[in-house]
Amino acid sequence: MSTPAPAPETTFYLDEGVRVTNTRLIANGTTYSMANITTVRRTVEEASHTLSLLMILIGAGIAIVGAETRDQNAIWTMMLGLAFIAGGVRLWKSEKPMHHLRISSSSGDTSAIHDTNASRIDRIIQAINEAIISRG
């Protein structure tokens, strides 16, 4: 008596570090069984602006000290303060929120993938949903 051949594995999504098939999700070296995934969703962790805000405040303090000083180094002190402010503003603008792909199973929730690119996470979620549906 021969055993039936296993169904072929269909790939729904493939990119660096992530593969979604009808039987499994491989994310950053960890394999999750599609049969065990009950829900999938995206969560967002807003960027922390603590360092950039600190740079701006320190720069403002240095610039104020430079403006109040009446010696030959006042202009350099003000310029240093303005450089801190500019660096803080540039850092603030470059900080992006982190998007997490959360999967739930009977054993709990886990964050399988995280990326600053929300559309990539959405594409992976769509592929996982298609893979779950294809299993029937």
pLDDT of residue 27: 92
Whether pLDDT at 45 is above 80:
yes
| DSSP 8-class letter at 73 | T
3-class secondary structure, 134: helix
The end-to-end CA distance of the chain, in Å, is 27
Burial of 18 (0-12, 13-18, 19+ CB in 10 A): buried
Show the beta-strand stretches assigned E in 1-136.
Answer: 11-15, 18-21, 24-27, 30-33, 37-45, 98-105, 108-115
d(CA 92, CA 26): 33
Q: Return the domain boundaries, the chain.
A: 11-44+97-135, 50-94
Q: Is residue 100 within 8 Å of residue 113, measured between CB atoms?
A: yes
d(CA 72, CA 76): 8
pLDDT of residue 5: 61
Nearest to 16 by CA among 35, 31, 29: 29
pLDDT of residue 3: 67
Full-prediction pTM beyond 0.75?
Answer: no
Whether pLDDT at 11 is above 60:
yes
| DSSP 8-class letter at 27 | E
Compute the average pLDDT of residues 50-60: 94
Q: Determine which of 15-19, 87-91, 100-104, 132-136 has the lowest per-residue pLDDT on average.
A: 132-136
**Model confidence over 66-107: pLDDT tens digits?**
888 878 888 899 999 999 999 999 999 999 999 999 999 888
pLDDT of residue 6: 66
**Model confidence over 23-34: pLDDT tens digits?**
999 998 889 988
CATH class of the domain whose range is 11-44+97-135: mainly beta
